[in-house]
Structure 1
Amino acid sequence: MNMLKKIKISLLAIGLFYVPLQASAWGIIGHRVVGQVADYYLTAKARKGVQSVLGSETLAMSANWPDFIKSDTAFNYLSSWHYVNLPEGLDQKGVFNFLETEKTANIYNKIPEMVATLKSSKSTAAEKKMAMRLLVHLMGDLHQPMHTARKDDLGGNKVTVTWFGQKSNLHRVWDEQLVDYQQLSYTEFAAAVNHPTAAQLTEWRAASLKQDVYESYMLCNKIYATTKADDKLSYRYNFDYADALYTQLAKGGVRLAALINAIYK
């Protein structure tokens, strides 16, 4: 095989590996941070329950499975589960009403289904494993604010911006680039953000799933208001939003643990 052909094959292999990862919500690191934070808050019963479902697979390592399988068309039906498109200009009551009436499969109405599957004695081991992986992932997605964004711009995917001079879009900035800019492994990241106060823990755990969506939506609205098409994002954007990023990742982990603890109480 000549050298040129080898290079072409190598580039193709890299491309095939790279494409699915670009579709990852929160990116690989962000989702693993949420899973790692959640692991810290599991009760003994919940930890045992998770191990009975996932075996040696940790919450952090299970977190990206629903993105990894996006290249398999058999799982195309899961695509709308990762987000809920909300119209602009809603108050809290408007968001709650929308969630109650929207019948399209979305992140809000699918999370309870995963919980029910895990609780049911009739669920098979395979069904429970898939439900746990999806639950971990979807609770991470729910706290990525651009997963509660507008339908007309595909959750910010059509809002073109640059990130440190590189062409990007608003959704990708929040999925991956803002997280990756911190230059932390997922274990380092989890350790860095996992410092909620006692009051925050109480508040986050007590929030309903509707409230979780509303909080992400409110942050999403702020992002839309402060980030416009063709904006050049770099150091200042990180300065403005790093704390919100840290809070969302920590909040997602705490709330994921609260859901799992409730399943195995």
Structure 2
Amino acid sequence: MRTAFVLGLMLWWLPGKVLAFGSTGHQLVCSLAYQLVKPDTRQQVDLLLAQGPAQDFAQGCVWPDEARQAPAYLFTAPFHYLNVPRQQSQVKPADCAARGCLLSALKHYAALLKQPGHNRQRAEALLFYSHFIADLHQPLHVSYADDQGGNKTAVYYFGKPSNLHGIWDAAMLKSLGYADNQQLATSKLAALRPDTVRQWQSGQPLVWAQQSLTQTRKVYQSYKPGMLFSQPELERDGPLIETRLLQAAVRLAWQLDQLLHPAAGN
């Protein structure tokens, strides 16, 4: 789940590491959410960014992957994923490890965002929270410890060595054109029906984690070590990763409108 999440660069294979939703994915989720939030919320985001490690929201959403490599932030490493037993079909709060997971991290940083003031702590909370909402919607971030979220399942992506996690994290988004054309995601967002957006603006992280696990279980039924991922698989799975990206953006904006509302003391 580690990636530099840098503009246009996709890391398809890093042995022994669990990659985070690739940099293009994180930037798109936060860029779209920034467009969707209410004007008052956008102002709060800008005020917090001025106190934090990044001045741009989309680029700042990459920062948690960079920060986790620093000694002061090593404790955040397990926050990027949620592991469940392979035989389990339902996500349970008890699945969260003692050192933390996506669910506990989102709860923690949401509580910080509800506090008043514009300071470094809340600025970092904004970036961590936004980053983890995106991670939660990448199915293989709710997965299995023994396979490191698909990093140990070696496959071929259009003839090139890759792994299961890397395909879902970044490679499909690149093949679909998102790494080179941000307007593509904007147009997809604009094409959403209002009732679809309203439907997505519901639930909570536990529910969204369950959606990811349901898809992860299907992924492991479809993929086998050494298999070739090519155009038929892209046509089958590409629409799902697009939907999860858009859901993450819609839900992040929805949550930020609640967490950063001026009436809450910000």
TM-score by length of 2: 0.84
- The CA distance in 2 between the partners of 1:168 and 1:190, in whole Å, is 25
Distance between the aligned counterparts of 2:113 and 2:181, measured in 1?
Answer: 26
Q: Which runs of 4+ in 1 moved over 6 A?
A: none
Q: Which amino acid aligns with 2:186?
A: A
Q: Hey, what does 2:248 align to over in structure 1?
A: 252
Verify the 8 A CA contact 1:205 1:254 in the aligned structure 2: yes
Q: Which runs of 5+ in 2 are unaligned?
A: 1-8, 262-266
Amino acid at match of 1:170: L
Deviations 1:114-146 (A, max 9, x none): 11111113x761101111111111111011100
1:24-77 residue CA offsets vs partner (Å, 9 max, x unmatched): 522111111101111121012211111110138332121100112243233211
Amino acid corresponding to residue 90 of structure 1 in structure 2: Q
The residue that corresponds to 2:126 in the other structure is 132
State the identity as a percent: 24
Give the SS at the match of 1:228. coil
Q: Which residue of 2 aligns with 1:190?
A: 185
Match of 2:164 among 170, 183, 201: 170
Q: How does 1:1-265 map to 2 (within 5 A)?
A: 24-55=19-50, 57-91=55-89, 94-99=90-95, 102-121=97-116, 125-184=119-178, 185=180, 187-194=182-189, 195-265=191-261
8 Å Cα contact 2:31-2:58 kept in structure 1:
yes
CA RMSD, Structure 1 to Structure 2 (Å): 2.3
The change in CA–CA distance for 1:171 and 1:129 in structure 2 (over 3 A counts) is same
Q: Is the 8 A contact 1:62 1:136 kept in 2?
A: no
| Secondary structure class of the residue paired with 2:201 | helix
Higher alpha-carbon Rg: 1
| Whole-angstrom distance in 1 between the partners of 2:80 and 2:249 | 17
The structural deviation recorded for 1:161 is 0.5
The answer as to whether partners of 2:67 and 2:73 remain within 8 angstroms in 1 is yes
Aligned length: 244
TM-score normalised by length of structure 1: 0.85
**1:102 Cα shift?**
4.8
| Gaps in structure 1 of 5+ consecutive residues | 1-16
CA distance in 2, matches of 1:192, 1:163: 27
